[in-house]
Amino acid sequence: MQGTFKEFLDRWELHQPELVAETAQARVWKVRSEHGPAALKLYRGPDRGNEEPGTALLKAWHDRGAVRVLNEERNAVLMEWLEGPSLGDIARAGRPEDAVAILAETAARLHGKATADVDGLKPLNQVVAPLFGCTFAPACPTLLRKDVLSATNLGQHLLISQPMPVPLHGDLHPDNIILTHNGPRVFDAKGYAGDPAFELANALRHPKGMTELVRDPRQIETCLSLYSEAMNVSEKRLAQWAAVKCALSICWRSEGAIENDPEADLLRLFLDVAD
């Protein structure tokens, strides 16, 4: 059964909770614990939904820069508290070059060693599957419809030509990395398995709130170059995954039939560079 906030505070002997984030899926509190300051993430559902394998992966990657997981049970995770700005904060404060460089180094560190053996990771073909079932509302602009269909074809091509699957964070972007005194620390993993070229593709849609920057052709070029080198994958495949992930996000947001989307123009740009 789903545990309550009060129940986890008692069970794990947590004190002085301060709410720090509230999202569609979960709430995060800063708390005091026997291990020192910690972050309690409490999911709204009965369990951690699609993020359960993510915690297993963060544990396997602890010596590569992932947050330390202190406890986990049903719909709750307790992690060490990460003090410092996120890479997203660093970018929004005017240093986007630093943010993308640290993101690339962080990804290289996670993926540099032999792949970790983690059970339950979600295969990329299951992640991408909703794209193959997406439909369009009558008001959907012709160009967006055409671009989503192109991305769907690309997705099919990428899935059948995947190299040996590797564990993937699955949501590796600047707002899921905090720069602490001890270096960058990664959290909020989905835990996927598949093509390493997927790992930083979604990061081309970030940082949050910097819509002009992510559409700047020079920024796209810089990120493709840095991220493909960090992951040791081809720029072309990375750009193709960026288009596919962008279309998938459009599909997720549409809740059934795609009508229009604020990232329709970004999808166009990614398809251009993927060509």
Site residues for ligand ATP per CB under 6 A: 20-21, 23, 25-26, 28, 39, 41, 67, 79, 81-82, 171, 175-176, 178, 187-188
Q: How far apart are CA 204 and CA 191, in angstroms?
A: 19
Residue 39 partner contact from ligand ATP, Mg ion, none using kind-dependent CB cut-offs of 5 to 8 Å: ligand ATP
Distances (CA, A) of 172 to 10, 52, 104, 141, 207: 32, 16, 10, 31, 11
* Structure-block tokens of residue 256: 């059934």
Q: How far apart are CA 111 and CA 69, in angstroms?
A: 19
> Quick check: 86 binds Mg ion (CB under 5 A)?
no
The distance of closest approach from Cβ of residue 250 to Mg ion in the complex, given in angstroms and rounded to an integer, is 19
Residue with tokens 């990061």: 203
Residue 187 partner contact from Mg ion, ligand ATP, none using kind-dependent CB cut-offs of 5 to 8 Å: ligand ATP
| Nearest to Mg ion of 70, 172 (CB atom) | 172
| Nearest to ligand ATP of 19, 149 (CB atom) | 19
The distance of closest approach from Cβ of residue 26 to ligand ATP in the complex, given in angstroms and rounded to an integer, is 6
Residue 116 has what DSSP assignment?
P
The distance of closest approach from Cβ of residue 175 to Mg ion in the complex, given in angstroms and rounded to an integer, is 5
Residue with tokens 């202190």: 70
**What distance lies between CA 269 and its chain's CA centroid?**
20
Sign of the torsion formed by the C-alpha atoms of 56, 76, 200 and 108: negative
| Nearest to Mg ion of 188, 199 (CB atom) | 188
Residue 153 partner contact from Mg ion, ligand ATP, none using kind-dependent CB cut-offs of 5 to 8 Å: none
The distance of closest approach from Cβ of residue 19 to ligand ATP in the complex, given in angstroms and rounded to an integer, is 10
Instruction: Map the footprint of Mg ion across residues 180-199, applying CB under 5 A.
Output: 188
The distance of closest approach from Cβ of residue 67 to ligand ATP in the complex, given in angstroms and rounded to an integer, is 5
185 neighbors 177 (Cβ within 8 angstroms): yes
| Nearest to Mg ion of 20, 143 (CB atom) | 20
Q: How far apart are CA 19 and CA 26, in angstroms?
A: 11
> Do the bridges between strand 135-136 and strand 257-258 make them parallel or antiparallel, or are there none, so unpaired?
parallel
Q: How far apart are CA 138 and CA 257, in angstroms?
A: 9
Query: According to CB under 5 A, which one of 33, 106, 176, 228 is a site residue for Mg ion?
Result: 176
Residue 79 partner contact from Mg ion, ligand ATP, none using kind-dependent CB cut-offs of 5 to 8 Å: ligand ATP
| Nearest to ligand ATP of 170, 196 (CB atom) | 170
The distance of closest approach from Cβ of residue 200 to ligand ATP in the complex, given in angstroms and rounded to an integer, is 16
85 neighbors 179 (Cβ within 8 angstroms): yes
Nearest one of 257, 273, 159 to 215, comparing CA atoms: 273
The distance of closest approach from Cβ of residue 6 to Mg ion in the complex, given in angstroms and rounded to an integer, is 25
Distances (CA, A) of 179 to 13, 79, 81, 103, 106: 27, 16, 12, 10, 10
Residue 82 partner contact from Mg ion, ligand ATP, none using kind-dependent CB cut-offs of 5 to 8 Å: ligand ATP
| Nearest to ligand ATP of 234, 252 (CB atom) | 252
* Structure-block tokens of residue 50: 């699609």
Binding site for Mg ion (CB under 5 A): 176, 188
